[in-house]
Amino acid sequence: MKSIIVGVTIVVSAAALGQSSAGSSISGSVVSRSAQAPVAGAQVIVVRHAESQYIDGHLRIIGRQLSGQVATGPRGEFKLAGLPDGEYHICAQTVLPNLLGSCEWGHGLQPVKIFGGQPVTELAIVLEPAVTIGIEVDDPKAVIVKKEDLGITAVGPRAYYLAARSTEERATHRRFEIRIPLGEDLALCVASHRRILDDSGTVIPSGTPSIALRPITAQAIVAAAAGQSGPTVHLRVD
């Protein structure tokens, strides 16, 4: 989510609901598990998916999908208002490099049910510790032109994956960053129609998770404890 909403309360509009803006609310706080401290400025995201039912032997979609988001306040507090009865999923994202958003990696997508217009209060969203890995890609012949020419993702054992975020793009050099959870066996997957080499000169199979991240994660933890920047994966376009 790129947009920032200032304040601690969001009211979903009647137009988005297709009905009256009256409804219930979900409120609580976002905290970090490692420090047990509130996380200010996190984006809390709530989604109610459209319901489905079998009617006369046919699957019918009932209701409309509803979504909203809000930024947490200085004490990590949030409130989402104007929510009709239904089943929701709620999670939180943060830009802090040492915390993993609960919307990522399936770590903390929480189901919440509103029934009878009763508000849900004191909901705690806990963010797990994470490390941020840098990926530097040298492209001396400038053959990578479009974003589709090179894709980098981290893949987990539970079929979860996350695309690396581009932070720098030049004709002959690109940098990516990816935030990953601790304690999981993850691997980088590089997809390209060009030959991509690792820092030892070995060709990386395209579309195959082949660069183990556990050793890199261990280095990142040590670097973070020493107040240093994390390790970087170096790749080269042949």
136-193: per-residue pLDDT in tens? 999 999 999 888 899 999 888 766 778 899 999 999 999 999 888 877 788 899 999 9
Same domain, 89 and 176: no
**Selection from 151, 143, 13 nearest residue 82 by Cα:** 13
Q: Domain ends where: 79, 112, 129? A: 129
Higher pLDDT, 173 or 49: 173
Q: What are phi and psi of 187, to 5 degrees?
A: -140, 150
Q: What does the pLDDT average to over 6-19?
A: 37
Same domain, 59 and 92: yes
Q: How many domains does the chain have?
A: 2
Same domain, 18 and 105: yes
Q: Domain ends where: 129, 153, 177? A: 129
| Residue 4, pLDDT score | 29
Residue-number span of the structural domain to which 58 is assigned: 9-129
Q: What does the pLDDT average to over 100-118?
A: 81
Q: What is the pTM for the complete model shown?
A: 0.71
| Average pLDDT in the chain | 81
Quick one: tokens of 80? 């989402």
CB contact set of 27 (below 8 Å; sequence gap of 6+): 77, 78, 79, 80, 119, 120, 121, 122, 123
Q: What does the pLDDT average to over 21-30?
A: 84
Same domain, 103 and 136: no
Same domain, 145 and 93: no
